[in-house]
Structures are given as structure tokens and as C-alpha cells.
């Protein structure tokens, strides 16, 4: 591992001012898609666009196209599987990430 060598240059040490504030932004804990052990895969033929998966997704990582067909933001989806569990027509399958890697 390389150690990051960051040098903070304080031009005017007498006015150094930092406050503990943040603004809403994606990835405050990084790309949380890497936490996933299973990924939700939408079967567009089965999907009835009822939007239950979109409604219940805790992470807001089920997205809607113009026609309300849903797709997944894999950058941040944590793979909890709620979308698959609430789908009334079983149109979402949870696929193990390991298996995908092998493919």
C-alpha cells in the first residue's frame, strides 16, 4: 500500500477556519455497490411497472425510465433484496455476485 502524502498549506494560519458541515451528495460512504453479495436483475418481460420495487428500495437505487420500466443503479445498490421480495410478479431475481464474476 502506498501512503498518501498530503500537505496542507495554510496560507494564513491566523484565519484557519473549518466547520463540521456537509451537503447531501451521493457516496458519503463511497460506492456502496461494492457491499453487495447479490445483485437484483430485472426481468423486463415479467415486470408490470407497478413500481413497488421503486417505492420500497431503501437506497433509492431502483430508477425509472420514461415508460416507468425500472432499472438498477449498481454503483450504490447494497443488494438487500427488498425489491425482489416486494415484487408481486417475481420479476426481480437476486443473482450472487460471485457467480457473475465467474461468468
Partner 1 sequence: MIKTLTGNYAVAEAAKLARIKVTSAYPITPQTTIVEKLSEMIEKGELEAKMIRVESEHSALAATLGAAAAGSRAFTATASHGLLYMHEVLWWTASARIPVVMAVAARAIGAPWNIHVEHSDVVDQRDTGWIIGIAQENQEVLDMTIQAFRISEDPRVYLPVIVGLDGFILTHTVAPVNVPDQKDVDNWLPPRRQPYVITPESKIAMGNMTSDDDYYMMRYSIQVGQEAAKKVIEEVDQSYGKAFGRYYGGLVECYRCDDADYVMVLMGSWAGDAKEAVKILREKGINAGIARIRFIRPWPAEILREKLYNKKGVLVFDRSISFGNAGQLFTELSSTLYGMTNIRGVIAGLGGVDVLPEDFANEMIDFVNKVEENGKVYDPIKWLFPAKYRNVKIEEVVS
Partner 2 sequence: MPVRLADFPRVRYGMPGNAACPGCPETMGLRYVKMALGDDVVLVIPAGCSSVIQGYTPKSGINFPILNIVFASAASAASGMQAAFESQGKDTTVIVWAGDGGTGDIGFQAMSGAAERNDNIMYICADNEAYMNTGIQRSSLTPYGAWTTTTWTGKKEHKKNIPMIMIAHEVPYVATATVGYPQDFIDKLRKAAKIKGFKYIHLLAPDPVGWKFDPSLTAKLGQLAVQTGLFPLYEYENGKLTVSVFSRLYRKPEKRVPIIEYIKVQGRYAQLMKDPEKIKGLEEEIERQWKWIDILEKSSNPSSVAQQIIKENK
Q: Which is nearer to partner 2, 71 or 99 (CB)?
A: 71
Q: Whole-angstrom Cα distance, residue 12 to residue 6?
A: 18
Residues 84-103, mask of contacts with partner 2 (x by CB under 8 A): xxx-------x---------
d(C-alpha 18, C-alpha 16), whole Å:
7
Which residue of 22, 88, 102, 103 would you call a contact of partner 2, by CB under 8 A?
A: 22
Going by C-beta distance under 8 Å and a sequence separation of 6 or more, which residues neighbour residue 97? Answer: 36, 37, 38, 39, 79
Task: Name the 3-class secondary structure at 99.
Answer: helix
25 belongs to the binding site for partner 2 (CB under 8 A)? yes
Q: Does 82 bind partner 2 (CB under 8 A)?
A: yes
Closer to partner 2 at the Cβ: 6 or 103? 6
**Grid cell listed for 13:** 494560519
Tell me which residues touch partner 2 (CB under 8 A): 20-32, 35-36, 49-52, 54-61, 63-64, 66, 68, 73, 75-82, 84-86, 94
Amino acid at each position: 500500500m502506498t501512503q498518501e502524502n498530503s500537505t496542507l498549506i495554510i496560507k494564513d494560519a491566523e484565519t484557519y477556519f473549518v466547520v463540521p458541515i456537509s451537503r447531501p451528495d451521493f457516496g458519503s460512504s463511497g460506492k456502496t455497490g461494492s457491499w453487495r453479495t447479490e445483485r437484483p436483475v430485472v426481468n423486463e418481460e415479467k415486470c408490470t411497472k407497478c413500481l413497488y420495487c421503486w417505492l420500497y428500495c431503501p437506497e433509492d437505487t431502483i430508477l425509472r425510465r420514461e415508460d416507468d420500466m425500472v432499472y438498477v443503479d449498481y454503483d450504490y445498490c447494497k443488494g438487500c433484496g427488498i425489491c425482489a421480495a416486494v415484487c408481486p410478479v417475481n420479476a426481480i431475481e437476486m443473482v450472487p455476485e460471485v457467480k457473475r464474476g465467474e461468468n
